Amino acid sequence: MRGRSVSATSRTPTWIGFFDKSGSPAIKVKLGGVFSEGQEFDAILDSGFTGFVSMPLISAFPLGLPLYGTTTVELADGTKASKLTAQVEASVGGESEVGVVILEPSSRDVLLGMAFLRIFKRALFVSTDVVLLIDESRRPDPDEPTPQESTPEGTTQPGQNPG
């Protein structure tokens, strides 16, 4: 693994995702370890998952991920379970970061959690027909007027009384 770093290419301001077969927001991510070049996966963006990456244990073997240890996770139903963890290098849009992956013995999905968004400094935007991961440095200034607020003088906004 090359270590935790952004690649030499400039940051891609916006990554465009998609909706998977079940309607979940997803992106393509390349995951790799010490002994492999990595493999591309369709990964679900799971805002309820606080970790970096979760993936099926069987998919992790060919990637040569170095074991990191174990962790206890709390599932949505409140139960707790002990899971194996490993180090993984994740790459999207020419950017790479290293983090901890939870290895799931019975899962079929690759999940990207909130730690993934924080480490890559991305904000998630999901609407009915688009999935965007926006570079946090492009965050709008809350003090800057929105297009609705900055209208030419003498015009009115919908709902405004012209008098």
Q: Which residues contact 98 (CB under 8 A, 6 or more apart)?
A: 1, 2, 3, 4, 87, 88, 89, 90
Q: Terminus-to-terminus CA distance in the chain, angstroms? A: 66
Q: How confident is the model at residue 7 (pLDDT cuts 50, 70, 90)?
A: very low
The answer to the question of residue 100 being in a domain is yes
pLDDT tens column, 87-115:
999 999 999 999 999 999 999 999 999 99
> What percent of the chain stands above pLDDT 70?
78
Q: Which domain holds residue 61?
A: 26-138
The answer to the question of residue 154 being in a domain is no
The answer to the question of residue 7 being in a domain is no
Q: Which residue has the higher pLDDT, 36 or 145?
A: 36
Q: Which residues contact 77 (CB under 8 A, 6 or more apart)?
A: none
Q: For 7-27, what is the mean pLDDT? A: 83
Q: For 68-97, what is the mean pLDDT? A: 93
Residue with the two structure tokens 């935007």: 125
Count of domains forming the chain: 1
Angle at 111 between CA 61 and CA 86, to 5 degrees: 40
Instruction: Name the average pLDDT for the chain.
Output: 85
Q: What pLDDT score was predicted for residue 13?
A: 81
**pLDDT at residue 6 is higher than 50:** no
The length of the chain in residues reads 163
Residue with the two structure tokens 């995951």: 31
User: Which CATH number characterizes residue 119's domain?
Assistant: 2.40.70.10
